[in-house]
Structure 1
């Protein structure tokens, strides 16, 4: 065991840290693995054990301090692309059959939808443009 260079041990450590990264999907293990690779580089350049451990700690902590908050921000963001009924909210439609509080028909995104007015006292006549505010089941709520 004494014949193996320190940089090899650092690479073995990096590989060992990569295993829980894959199994648990915790990115912190990947950051520690990168720190171990940095330690291997320092060992390969001929620095002592203290320098190797310090580089490992500094690189690992720096990655956790910088990358982790960025990753958390990205995971908290909603997707920019709205799909399904979410994509229909805010779209304009054309009234095909009179729409009031009890129902009617509109043409929305090239399809014919049942619709009803958000305000039950309002009515929209054929050919009038309306805005979709919500989708409830297969019914568009319009204003």
Structure 2
């Protein structure tokens, strides 16, 4: 313990490393900012600042990082759940090509490089082979399509 009393910057450095390890497990970018504060306190300690000044520096730097840097990093690295859908839901709005005539009951379309069972929306005209269609919704393993391709997403 006497060793830490003589080298408090090492204690701050240890705290920064522990906070960085927690950040690696949580990826919330909060513990990273706290580690930045602890690192600033380690530098202040190495320069001979008193313990009170070290704590104030740690709090101010961590708070500043949380208020300024964290929002920028969060916006850059955290993807909004609704902005990028994955799986079958990502196909809604995309266009495909009819392989086998699509009616209200049955049909096949090529969509995103895969062949899908397809049906037209209720009351729509059937779609003929070679025609371009737009996915309106997904019901299980069947895509519901329409011959109207306006407002489509690119494949």
TM-score for both structures, normalised by structure 1? 0.75
- On the 8 A contact 2:12/2:42 being kept in 1, the answer is yes
Q: Which residue does the alignment assign to 1:53?
A: 55
Q: 1:54-133 maps to which residues of 2 (within 5 A)?
A: 54-70=56-72, 73=75, 75=78, 77-78=80-81, 82-133=85-136
TM superposition shift of 1:116: 0.7
RMSD, aligned CA: 3.0
List runs of 5+ in structure 2 lacking aligned partners: 147-155
TM superposition shift of 1:91: 2.5
List runs of 5+ in structure 1 lacking aligned partners: none
Q: Which residue does the alignment assign to 1:31?
A: 33
Question: What SS does the corresponding residue of 2:53 show, helix, strand or coil?
Answer: helix
Question: What SS does the corresponding residue of 1:60 show, helix, strand or coil?
Answer: helix
TM superposition shift of 1:23: 6.2
- On the 8 A contact 1:102/1:116 being kept in 2, the answer is yes
Cα offsets for 1:77-124 (capped at 9, x unmatched):
137665432343222222233222122222333433221111334222
Query: How many Å separate the matches in 1 of 2:102 and 2:83?
Result: 32
TM superposition shift of 1:68: 4.1
TM-score for both structures, normalised by structure 2? 0.70
